[in-house]
Chains A and B, each alone.
Chain A
Amino acid sequence: MKEAALFTFTLLLGVYYFSTPKRLNPLEQIFIGLICSFILSCYISIFADDLGWWKVNKDSHLVFKIVEIVAKTFLLLMFIPIFLNGRNRFLVLLFYLFIFQLISWANEGLKVVEYKNWWILVGVVLDTLTLMFLTFLQKKFHQVLMKEGLVDYEGSSTS
């Protein structure tokens, strides 16, 4: 039941994401989405496998990975352009952290995972740093993906 709830939440989040207008161009979405899922999957390995700060229920590993990687990637893809272009970035950041904490509480409430070592506080810092880093990457590679990226090279199929 708990797995179904979290899986359904991820699916609905995906449907919402794909049905709403995007503020990032498709190439940027792919770029950010790939890097984001890479980083989030590394968090699982570091905090669950190496440090043991996330004690995942033995029957819930798959759904935990889906929520942590897929659902959070969708959320970050939604929040990065809002954070980048929004007028009140602090409020956006607070809302983003609230949503991420809600997911953590849902995971813990549904007994999918047990967080240790004041994870709620550490998580806030980590989630903020993740958003900042991905926003930095988006700004840094925007020109590459939007302008340089559209320059033709001889022999390429893009020409």
Chain B
Amino acid sequence: MKALPLPKSFDENEWFFILTVLGMLFLYRIIPKRFSTSTTLLLLIFPATISRLTDKFLSAPDKDLYDVFDSPAFELFDLFAYTMYAPFGYFFIYLYDYWKLKGLRLVAYIMVWGVFSIGFEWISHQFHVFKYKDFTFSLAFSIYISSHILTILYYHLIISLTSSLKMSKF
């Protein structure tokens, strides 16, 4: 087998991925800048890494829940696919910070994003980005909810570290 094989055929799943990334890049460019460069960088890296690690720890042969793109092998587009998650985390925190959500509104916000994530997952499935095996949407929903909560905690960690670095500068 080859390392990072190219797609067997360049079809709807690859096009879906490319158009999604382009759409998100466009959205990122048109919305007003809200965070500092370092926070933006860290917010973009976190979802990509968390999704990669989740995929790795949920992957075969311990568990075989789904394949990404054309085959069970780790393809070049599998690697690129994680860039798709990066803007999701950014937009999630962007709106969270914009609306300054707390309490029940925050719980509702996380739930709505969970449903939105599942919706996106379902659309990806229609374009054959994912091929499900022992996978269930209820499992995905709980993973998404956990990762959204983790992302909020991570954001607050970054903010508190940034503040303490600022304090130490003065």
User: Are A and B associated in one complex?
Assistant: yes
Interface range on chain B (Cβ under 8 Å from partner): 35 or more
The reply to whether the CB of A44 lies closer than 8 angstroms to some CB of chain B is yes
| CB-CB nearest in chain A for B79 | A42
Find chain B residues with CB under 8 A from A152 CB.
Answer: 36
The reply to whether the CB of A141 lies closer than 8 angstroms to some CB of chain B is yes
A157 touches B97 (CB 8 A): yes
Which of B48-56, B107-115, B136-144 lines the interface with chain A? B48-56
Mask, B139-170, CB within 8 Å of A = 1, is 00000000000000000011101110110010
A25 touches B4 (CB 8 A): no
Find chain B residues with CB under 8 A from A41 CB.
Answer: 52-53, 56
Q: A34-B49, A38-B49, A153-B36 are in contact. Are A50 and B3 (CB under 8 A)?
A: yes
A150 touches B34 (CB 8 A): no
8 Å CB contacts to B: which residues of A17-43?
A: 25-27, 30-31, 34-35, 37-38, 41-42
The reply to whether the CB of A149 lies closer than 8 angstroms to some CB of chain B is yes
The reply to whether the CB of A145 lies closer than 8 angstroms to some CB of chain B is yes
Q: Which secondary structure dominates chain A's binding surface?
A: helix
Mask, B27-42, CB within 8 Å of A = 1, is 0000011111111011
Contact of A158 among B60, B73, B162 (CB under 8 A): B162
Find chain A residues with CB under 8 A from B73 CB.
Answer: 49-50
Which of A57-65, A90-98, A108-116 lines the interface with chain B? A57-65
B162 touches A150 (CB 8 A): yes
Find chain A residues with CB under 8 A from B159 CB.
Answer: 157-158
Q: How many A-B residue pairs have CB under 8 A?
A: 117
The reply to whether the CB of B1 lies closer than 8 angstroms to some CB of chain A is yes
A31 touches B41 (CB 8 A): yes
A158 to B48, CA, bound (A): 23
Q: What are the nearest 6 A-B pairs in CB distance?
A: A149-B38, A45-B74, A34-B49, A41-B56, A26-B161, A148-B37
Residues of B within 8 A of A (CB): 1-5, 32-39, 41-42, 45-46, 48-49, 52-53, 56-57, 59-62, 72-74, 78-79, 82, 97-98, 157-159, 161-163, 165-166, 169
Residues of A within 8 A of B (CB): 25-27, 30-31, 34-35, 37-38, 41-42, 44-47, 49-52, 58, 61-62, 65, 69, 141, 144-146, 148-153, 155-158
A149-B39, A157-B159 given; name 17 further pairs at CB < 8 Å: A37-B53, A38-B49, A38-B53, A38-B82, A41-B52, A49-B73, A50-B3, A51-B3, A61-B61, A65-B57, A69-B53, A145-B41, A150-B166, A151-B37, A153-B35, A158-B159, A158-B163
